[in-house]
Amino acid sequence: DATAPRDFRGSLQRSSRLLTTAPGSLRGFGGSDMAAGREYTDFEPSRIPVTVLTGFLGSGKTTLLNHILTAMHGKRIAVIENEFGAVGIDDALLKDNIKKHTEDEIVELLNGCVCCTVRKDLVDVLHRLGERVVVRGERLDAVIIETTGMASPGPVAQTFFADEVIEDLFELDGIVTLVDAKHIVQHLDEEKPEGVIHEAVEQVAFADRLLLNKTDLVPEEEELQRIEARLRAINKVAPIQRCTQSEVDVSMVLDIQAFDLDRTLETNPNFLDLDGSSTHDASVTSWGIHTPGEVSLMHFQRFLIPMLRRRGDQIFRMKGVLAIEGVDMRYVFHSVHMLYNGNFEAPWGPDEERSCKLVIIGKDVDEAEVRSGFEGCIANDENREKWERALRFKVGDAVECKVAGDVDDEEEDESVDDEADGCERSRRRGGGRWMRGTVVQLFYSNPGFRPGHRVPYQIQLEDGTLIYAPRDHDAIIRPART
């Protein structure tokens, strides 16, 4: 804006002071009253409510945020997205979601930990939002700050009492904490070195609302009650709402008017001590991978799933957006400890570079091991040669396959897991019969499979029938006997 002053902070300070006695809402500021500089003494304008959305890694914050952005609430919302790693994942997903539903929301990204290393950046972002409202006259109904799962919400909340401009333009509406019912006890029980933040405990303690998410993963009612009692021992006043897939009414998150500074000071007398510092557990690290090109979904899953089984206690969170060989849509995956889920979502743009981005957050994770394993999944000529050499059979080899009746593609197409699954399916068919054939294609796929899914072999039987082997295992396919 060529007409806007370059010193936005000074402009905001002057404008916000005038607002304290100006008529109407802050959202309508910027009209003739601003030009005339008229003052009124009998009106207190509303400030823009801010919700801090927090919760430990994998608790469902971004899923909740997507629900809010796509709900029919009629609000214009600014989102401040904070990611712990250097490779951003959630901001791109949020922007894609916003494009599908509305053009109004604003997304700002902060890389780093918002409770310590990028607190100044948070102040700057709030000032920029204030400038858009005060100087440019834009409408803004609410702000949501989604913190990284490693952030303590306390220092974030302090921001709204430590800066005059922010205090005049914004009000802290509430701190909403997502709780992963499946893993919260594990994180609350974790022992931290002296002087190090216990993030999971602080996120529960500072909450004005507690959303106990993923309750479907804890089917026993007694266990859920024990979890709620554990939360109550830390925070006696925040209401607890059970949910799955982060599905709650927007009224549980926005305009809740729940933050109480007096109550916060009672439980934490040093809350407004701005000289305090946040120290995180140095053994918990975050790093990312961003590489152009595509990966083989089959080899990616065969790399990832066994690694999560072995290292699930160490890997708190993984998430990524991948370009999959032969598929036009993005593959979005998430994992929390040993739990893994992946789906194809928005298509790649016609001029968009197909690439893979993922971020890993964990404790004492061997970065070199993960990078090496992922690089082995990239669909390039070097890896294809390795994959083919690892197979027992080549195109043209005579084989015998165990066939049991007519099995269509959909029935056979199951998630890549481990070789024992293939054996078990063969046994469930009642043994079947061995039939001779010839391998005609490696890493076969067809339209009946799920996107990106491939199997090791396509085989032509002696009678001309084309079948496929879902696993490279002796229980399914073996060398032809002479």
Decide if pLDDT at 449 tops 50: yes
Q: How far apart are CA 80 and CA 119, in angstroms?
A: 12
Q: Are 29 and 151 in contact (CB under 8 A)?
A: no
Whether the pLDDT of residue 23 is over 50: the answer is: no
| Contact (CB, 8 A) for 18 and 34 | yes
pLDDT for the residue 405: 58
**pLDDT at residue 28 above 60?**
no
How far apart (Å, rounded) are the C-alpha atoms in residues 191 and 105?
40
Dist. CA 416–CA 443, nearest whole Å: 13
Residue 45 Ramachandran class (φ > 0 left, ψ -120 to 50 alpha, else beta): beta
212-237 average pLDDT score: 92
Q: Which of 85-94, 126-135, 414-423, 441-450 has the highest mean pLDDT?
A: 441-450
Supply the pLDDT for residue 264: 66
Please name the residues in contact with 340: beta carbons below 8 A apart, sequence gap of 6 or more.
304, 305, 308, 333, 334
CB atoms under 10 Å from CB of 396, counted, come to 8
pLDDT in tens, 225-238: 999 999 988 888 88
Q: Are strands 355-363 and 284-292 parallel, antiparallel or unpaired?
A: antiparallel
What is the residue-averaged pLDDT of the chain?
Answer: 76
Q: What is the CA radius of gyration of the chain?
A: 27
Using CA atoms, how far residue 365 sits from 47, 124, 190, in Å, is 44, 33, 17
pTM equals 0.57
Residue 362, C-beta contacts closer than 8 angstroms, at least 6 positions apart: 284, 285, 311, 314, 315, 316, 317
Whether 4 shows a pLDDT value over 90: the answer reads no
Strand partners, 203: none
pLDDT single digits (tens) 55-101 = 888 888 888 988 888 876 778 888 888 765 555 555 555 555 554 44
For 155-312, where are the E strands, in sequence order? Answer: 170-180, 209-213, 240-242, 284-292
* 283-297 average pLDDT score: 84
What is the predicted pLDDT for the residue at 266? Answer: 63
Of the spans 20-34, 37-51, 313-327, 407-421, which averages the highest pLDDT? 313-327
Chain centre distance of CA 179: 14
What average pLDDT does the segment 378-399 reach? 95
Q: What 8-state DSSP symbol labels residue 256?
A: -
- Average pLDDT, integer, range 408-427: 38
17-21, 269-273, 316-320, 470-474: range with highest mean pLDDT: 470-474
Q: Are 418 and 470 in contact (CB under 8 A)?
A: no
Q: Quote the pLDDT of residue 414.
A: 39
Q: Residue 35 pLDDT more than 50?
A: no
Mention every residue, 6+ apart, whose C-beta is less than 8 A from residue 135.
1, 4, 5, 8, 11, 12, 15, 30
Min mean pLDDT across 2-6, 178-182, 229-233, 257-261 is at 2-6
Confidence of residue 49 (pLDDT cuts 50, 70, 90): very high
Q: Is the pLDDT of residue 357 over 50?
A: yes
Whether the pLDDT of residue 365 is over 90: the answer is no
Least confident of 110-114, 191-195, 406-410: 406-410
Please report, as a single letter, which amino acid is at residue 416.
V
pLDDT higher than threshold 50 for residue 32: no
Identify the pLDDT of residue 434: 92
Confidence (pLDDT) at 109: 57
pLDDT in the model for residue 207: 86
Q: Are 448 and 413 in contact (CB under 8 A)?
A: yes
Query: Which residues are CB-contacts of 12 (< 8 A; sequence separation ≥ 6)?
Result: 127, 130, 131, 134, 135, 165, 169
Q: What is the pLDDT of residues 127-173, one digit of tens each?
A: 888 888 888 888 888 999 988 776 777 778 888 877 888 888 999 89
